[in-house]
Amino acid sequence: NVEFLQCLNQTHHSKRWSKSREKLDFRKFASHLVRRVFGYIATKADHEMLNASSNRHLKGDGLEVMTQAMMINLQNLMLHNVDSSSDQVTWREEKLFAYCYNIVFRAGYLSLYGNEAFDSKTSQEKAKEKDRAESEALYDEFRKYDQLFPRLAYGVLPPKKRREATKLLEYFWNVLSVQKLKGRDNISRWIWDVQEGKDNAGVKEDMITRYMFVLLWASQGNTGPSSFWLLLFLMKHPEAMRSVKEEIDKAVRESGQEVKPGGPLVKMSREMLMKTPILDSAVEETLRLTAAPLLTRAVLQDMTLKMADGRQYFIRQGDRVALFPYSAIQMDPEIHPDPRSFKYDRFLNPDGSKKTDFYKAGNKVKYYTMPWGSGASMCPGRFFATNELKQFAFLMLLYFEFELINPNEEIPEIDYSRYGFGTMQPDRDLQFRYRRRY
């Protein structure tokens, strides 16, 4: 209910809402969902363990390590053949959603779950080739599962599709098994931490393996679609494209690096990514327009929830409360004027700093966008996910020219079947072309 969340947003800091939150819990619903969709039986310690590991390795100094891993893997997938002279002049044509999802998913997977090991018998280049091939095969299977996901989550898959989903799960449990991951290089400390924590807690190995797929879907199921929308909005708004590209070129120059034919690849640091406020705003605007999570809570006790306008709702123990910030906050014209338009500088102040002051009915709102959820259930990997988006856009704008085949083609509608599961996906793809800038 739109009005429900609007009132909720206004009363978030009040004591009565604090008391209400004690009677609402996200874990019960989440446990039910991951068992149905991933075959994983959750434990009480899952949430705290995941948050602790994410705080260590997906933000702060740990994020610096992940940024370097993501850079190396993105460059392997996007730029491994840049020295070919034909690549300098030939336009390549592909489908935009398929391209973005493919590259970002594969680079994220390799950064988290490691690379093919190489030694005196296997050259580094051969190992990189195997990374490209193996991650491509994994992505193809992931997309099959991803397309089944909404109906699987709602429990309405027909028997034939249900059997297909089960076979896909078994494929991922094999690829991501604890034993197979032990043979890979550069596995992220995040993944190692989670594995060790569960092992020390006495969780069986087959259940740890299932959790590995839960983490893959949770970490990589939304960044690829988000990268599609970001590139599409930039191509449809030339001023935004120009401003972001100039900012990225400037960041490279200030780092003392240069992109030139035959020159070394740019070493993208987290420090460079922190100097891109225009790109930050474009990313946040993209998520405002396309991220639509459903925040579901189980009601633990009978309760009366009082709204700021005086209305009251009686909620029974055993009920579920679902909040949908996409329509109630992110599309609210009072908080975000002209909410359906992409405004790349919406989250910038006139002086170029990040804008965080948004108002409704004269009152400053704390949550003006909620792409990552909120409170205790807020996505613990949001900093890594944002970095993934920015790094992909950074490399695309730095190394390539790209454009829609049909510049006048309308922006696709969203696939409404995916409402509530994160970043929305388009109901159709668009053709684009790209080539090296230099």
CATH number at residue 117: 1.10.630.10
Q: Alpha carbon of 166 to those of 30, 32, 37, 144, 206: distances in Å? A: 20, 17, 10, 12, 15
CB 128 within 8 A of CB 417: no
The mean predicted confidence, pLDDT, of the chain is 89
Say if residue 379 carries a ligand binding annotation: yes
What pLDDT, on the 0 to 100 scale, is given for residue 423?
92
Structure tokens at 389: 């988006």
Identify the band that residue 355 occupies on the pLDDT scale cut at 50, 70 and 90. Answer: very high
Q: Alpha carbon of 6 to those of 224, 248, 253, 355, 365: distances in Å? A: 30, 37, 44, 21, 10
What number is the average pLDDT over the span 302-308? 81
What number is the average pLDDT over the span 107-133? 90
Residue 437 has pLDDT above 80, yes or no: yes
pLDDT in tens, 336-353: 999 999 999 999 999 999
Say if residue 36 carries a ligand binding annotation: yes
Rg of the chain, C-alpha, whole Å: 22
How many domains does the chain fold into? 1
Identify the band that residue 310 occupies on the pLDDT scale cut at 50, 70 and 90. Answer: confident
Structure tokens at 46: 């899952």
**Ramachandran area for residue 28 (φ above 0: left; ψ -120 to 50: alpha; else beta):** alpha
Identify the band that residue 45 occupies on the pLDDT scale cut at 50, 70 and 90. Answer: confident
Least-confidence region, from 12-26, 55-69, 198-212: 12-26
Structure tokens at 66: 């992940």
What pLDDT, on the 0 to 100 scale, is given for residue 405?
98
Identify the band that residue 1 occupies on the pLDDT scale cut at 50, 70 and 90. Answer: very low
What number is the average pLDDT over the span 322-339? 92
Residue 15 has pLDDT above 50, yes or no: no
Residue with tokens 């409704």: 360
Q: Report long-range pairs for 89-92 (Cβ below 8 Å, ≥24 apart).
A: 89/435, 90/435, 91/433, 91/434, 91/435, 92/433, 92/434, 92/435
In percent, the amount of the chain with pLDDT more than 90 equals: 66
Say if residue 143 carries a ligand binding annotation: no
DSSP 368: S
pLDDT in tens, 386-426: 999 999 999 999 999 999 999 999 999 999 888 888 899 99
Q: For residue 426, give the 3-state DSSP assignment.
A: strand
Structure tokens at 70: 């993501």
Least-confidence region, from 32-46, 155-169, 305-319: 305-319
Say if residue 222 carries a ligand binding annotation: yes
What number is the average pLDDT over the span 89-103? 94
What number is the average pLDDT over the span 49-63? 90
438 or 432: which leads in pLDDT: 432
pTM value > 0.85: yes
What number is the average pLDDT over the span 69-98? 83
Rounded to an integer, what is the distance from CA 309 to the centroid of its chain? 35
| Structural domain span for residue 361 | 1-11+18-436
Identify the band that residue 212 occupies on the pLDDT scale cut at 50, 70 and 90. Answer: very high
366 or 95: which leads in pLDDT: 95
Q: For residue 270, give the 3-state DSSP assignment.
A: helix
What pLDDT, on the 0 to 100 scale, is given for residue 47?
83
Within a 10 A sphere around the Cβ of 433, how many other Cβ atoms?
Answer: 16
What pLDDT, on the 0 to 100 scale, is given for residue 350?
95
Neighbouring-strand partners of residue 420: 293
Give the Cα separation of 18 and 200 in Å (integer).
34
Structure tokens at 62: 């740990």
**Comparing C-alpha atoms, which of 303, 296, 337, 332 is closest to residue 317?**
303
**Comparing C-alpha atoms, which of 115, 167, 168 is closest to residue 140?**
168
Give the Cα separation of 350 and 360 in Å (integer).
20
Within a 10 A sphere around the Cβ of 320, how many other Cβ atoms?
Answer: 12
Identify the band that residue 21 occupies on the pLDDT scale cut at 50, 70 and 90. Answer: low
Within a 10 A sphere around the Cβ of 178, how many other Cβ atoms?
Answer: 15
Neighbouring-strand partners of residue 296: 322
What number is the average pLDDT over the span 114-134? 87
What pLDDT, on the 0 to 100 scale, is given for residue 381?
87
CB 389 within 8 A of CB 230: yes
CB 69 within 8 A of CB 188: yes
In 88-200, beta strands by DSSP E: 92-95
Q: For residue 403, give the 3-state DSSP assignment.
A: strand
What number is the average pLDDT over the span 69-82? 90
